[in-house]
Structure 1
Amino acid sequence: MAQAPAHHYPTIDPTSFDVVVCGTGLPESVLAAACAAAGKTVLHVDPNPFYGSLYSSVPLPLLLPSFLSPDPSAVPLSPPTSSGDDSHSVVNLHRRNIYSEVETSGAAPGPSRRFTVHLVGPRVLYCADEAVDLLLRSGGNHHVEFKSVEGGSLLFWEGQLYPVPISRESIFRDATLELNDKTVLYRFFKLVKAHIAAASASGDEVGEGEASAKISEDDLDLPFIDYLKKHKLSPKMRAVVLYAIAMADCDQDTDSCEKFLTTKEGIQTIALYSSSIGRFANAEGAFINPMYGHGELPQAFCRCAAVKGALYVLRVQVSAVLMSELFTDIYPNEEVLSRKSAPLYSDDDSDSAE
């Protein structure tokens, strides 16, 4: 399809910005919010009719045209061309599809607010996660609503689901655990708590008792599963610690695991888990998730940026990068990656938000 002449495209006013950010995914949204908070003028564009890019939570009807269907107009990256001015060169950009070929069957349901598709899978956050801290510091928490993951973590063991104990009281109240398991698990958590307290204290404040509570460097470098075996945790208790609390994502008890947790990494995650429990009055467990999907996270930072004066334009793509002679002199070997296709503006798809 022939592209409309450039003079038919609606213009963006103002025409000069300190920062232009392409795509409204989570990293780009955090960057835009930070730049706007620092007093920079920001233009934030996205080729989609919604915020979030690949971090979005979208209705199913939007999934097909936006992400899955290949774009027949996409062509390979064109070589740099002259802008008609010897002091500038133009690098044309074209959008790449996520999948080279997609096959679909059936009809998508009509628009509905009853469910959305999480493009990168459902996610939960520790209450003390760095992302939550960033939301609190930036004010983004005012633009997103969270809910607690009810019941805490569950462990699937020998065909049944078991609640994961999160405190001394829950350990000894758990009727599914043997008395020996309860005692060993409690002693292990007590040891980890003492190590975390000793490690967080400054060097001048560490006494002999606190220093002796710290886990040795040799043990911290061990695979975490070996350290758990060293403290005689049963297979079920090791599974609780490794997968329900430390969140290991592969079987730590086999040689086929690509990434073995070290004791240091495992204890860091246990510390995060422990500090997450009870952090918020309306979240009893360690985990929370955005009520309307994790696509709310980039939108929260976009709203923060908009409050600080950032300009948002959806359904807009960057078609080319204009490089000055000064830039090419400083970065003679700089490569520009192909990220976008289609013109910078379209006749009927320009949209401004906030």
Structure 2
Amino acid sequence: MAAEDLPSEFDVVILGTGLTESVVAAACSRVGQRVLHLDRRSFYAANWASFTFNGLLTWVQEHNNESQPEMVNDFSDLLENGEELMHLSKSDSTSITNLQVFCYTSEEEEDEAQCNDALNTTVGKEKSADEEALKESAESAVCAESQDEDHVVPEDPQSFLGQWEDPEEDQTHPSVASFQSEPTRKKISFAQLVKEGRRFNIDLVSKLMFSRGSLVELLIKSNVSRYAEFKNVTRILTYHHGNVEQVPCSRADVFASRQLSVVEKRKLMRFLTSCMEETEEQQAYYSRPYLEFLHDQHLGDNLQHFLLHSIAMASPDTPTGEGLASTRHFLRCLGRYGNTPFLFPVYGLGEIPQCFCRMSAVFGGVYCLRHSVQCLIIDKDTNRCKAVVDSRGQRINCSHFVMEDGYLDGDRKKMDTSLRFLSRAVLITDSSVLPGESDQQVSMVTVPSTDGSPTVRMVELCSSTMTCIPGTCEFYLITHLLEPLPPPCVDRLSQ
């Protein structure tokens, strides 16, 4: 809808199209509230957005540019008695910082690909020229023989052609195949990524959803799930003893595992069955480390590693009560949609906020991108928002106003909780972290803490998730850090 056509009154005005704001918009529209949903960006989902490859590079470039100084406009003429203005931040003070882009494709590979293309073109031209010359020679021979009145043309054209001798017949003609090397795996170049960039959907936030988690239950109960499609994570992996190994988590995986002995399989199944119910023995360990509890259950190092890092997704210092709760939740989510407890939305995580926006629009919500709110009009007596002034200077009355915290100045924020910093990395590679019989694997990988480095969680996506092109994989890495993700970890996993 054009800005000039906006009504002057709504029940709820929402600024920002992140997940939280989109859920609120859908809920308000569903119960009959008049909702105006705005976002100053040109895309939906805010920090939950998904980009094409080229779009991501553009977003990184724009994000790293220095923000222009803000100009505060005077809208005092829109105020009524007992009202005051509260200006919002015009800069996109997003929580994403320190963006960097690396390309590990060597120049030799790029040059080799260009040389191969040039070689194929040259060979094709030479072959075409030889065929054309051969054709012209044959035609001239036919014409010469036809002009001889004493010559009788045979009825069989093949026998006639057989009488003509090719002076180069005994020479060996090099074929195109002789110029080509043995079949090798085609390497993905940076130029190809740019060319096929629109076929990528790269998330800013990497998350998997538990099949019985609160978000999946919300999608089902609200009927928003009909707007999206999901794929089940096909395997759980871990980095153990210098290798990437598959973690057996379901009953079928345990008995099919080749890395566990028969005794280990029995111990693992016995433990997974017993931990579903709370016992007095477990309560005695609740305040003690979960790793100590696993050790006292006479589980080997391999089983302790799988249970601690990949199933409970805990650290060695995690209390037993918390570790058991995480293990039970993991097991309860198994089997609902597959052999693993996790789901991932097709086309990327940015689809989830957009699904809620679609529901809001179906029930009458009004949406405007590249349209923002410059300031709020506050009632001095009640300290409540009575109206907003949009980017066109229009006053829009509302009963409620909701916005993401990025629009609020830092000095106005009231932080009741401590901040948590995350470091993320997105990798696009030409192979899986653990190649198997199928190249369509969706994996959750854990790289445990070693030598003081933090634990890294990784999500591997294939082309069937519609997030990358065939022949490539997308990896999302996340860890709790104050600094960027250590390059050695990225290098080790991308090899």
Deviates further, 99-108 or 158-167? 99-108
Residue of structure 2 in register with 1:339 after alignment: 407
Residue of structure 1 in register with 2:381 after alignment: 326
Residue 296 of structure 2 corresponds to residue 233 of structure 1: no
2:4 paired residue among 11, 19, 37: 11
Residue 199 of structure 2 corresponds to residue 130 of structure 1: no
User: Greater Rg, structure 1 or structure 2?
Assistant: 2
CA contact (8 A) 1:21 1:44 kept: yes
Residue 4 of structure 2 corresponds to residue 24 of structure 1: no
Residue 204 of structure 2 corresponds to residue 119 of structure 1: yes
1:71 to partner: Cα distance = 5.4
CA contact (8 A) 1:80 1:91 kept: no
Deviates further, 25-34 or 54-63? 54-63
Residue of structure 1 in register with 2:324 after alignment: 267
Provide, for residues 54-79 of structure 1, a one-character-per-residue CA deviation record: whole Å limited to 9, x for no partner.
10111243333486143543438899
Unaligned ranges ≥5, structure 2: 104-190, 386-402, 410-495
Query: Under a length normalisation based on structure 2, what TM-score does the superposition of the two structures give?
Result: 0.54
CA contact (8 A) 1:149 1:289 kept: yes
Provide, for residues 267-318 of structure 1, a one-character-per-residue CA deviation record: whole Å limited to 9, x for no partner.
22222222222213xx342211011110011111111111221111111111
Distance 1:191 1:321 in 2: 57
1:167 to partner: Cα distance = 3.0
1:21 to partner: Cα distance = 0.9
Residue of structure 1 in register with 2:33 after alignment: 40
Distance 2:303 2:49 in 1: 36
Unaligned ranges ≥5, structure 1: 1-8, 196-212, 254-259, 331-335, 342-354
Residue 344 of structure 2 corresponds to residue 289 of structure 1: yes
Residue of structure 1 in register with 2:255 after alignment: 172
Deviates further, 97-106 or 14-23? 97-106
Residue 90 of structure 2 corresponds to residue 90 of structure 1: no
Provide, for residues 218-267 of structure 1, a one-character-per-residue CA deviation record: whole Å limited to 9, x for no partner.
3223221121112122222111111111123xxx34xxxxxx42222222
| Identical positions, percent | 28
Residue of structure 2 in register with 1:224 after alignment: 290
CA contact (8 A) 1:221 1:264 kept: yes
CA contact (8 A) 2:250 2:340 kept: no
Residue 235 of structure 2 corresponds to residue 142 of structure 1: no
- Tell me the secondary structure at the aligned position of residue 371 of structure 2: coil
The size of the alignment, in residue pairs, is: 298
- Tell me the secondary structure at the aligned position of residue 17 of structure 1: strand
After TM superposition, list the pairs within 5 Å mapping 1:179-190 onto structure 2: 179-190=262-273
1:112 to partner: Cα distance = 3.3
CA contact (8 A) 2:15 2:39 kept: yes
CA contact (8 A) 2:54 2:197 kept: no
Read off the aligned partner of 2:407 and give its amino acid letter.
R
Read off the aligned partner of 2:368 and give its amino acid letter.
V
- Tell me the secondary structure at the aligned position of residue 193 of structure 1: coil
- Tell me the secondary structure at the aligned position of residue 199 of structure 2: coil
Deviates further, 9-18 or 315-324? 9-18
Provide, for residues 130-166 of structure 1, a one-character-per-residue CA deviation record: whole Å limited to 9, x for no partner.
110000011110111111122x201221122322222
- Tell me the secondary structure at the aligned position of residue 219 of structure 2: helix
Distance 1:149 1:84 in 2: 54
- Tell me the secondary structure at the aligned position of residue 238 of structure 2: strand
Distance 1:73 1:326 in 2: 35
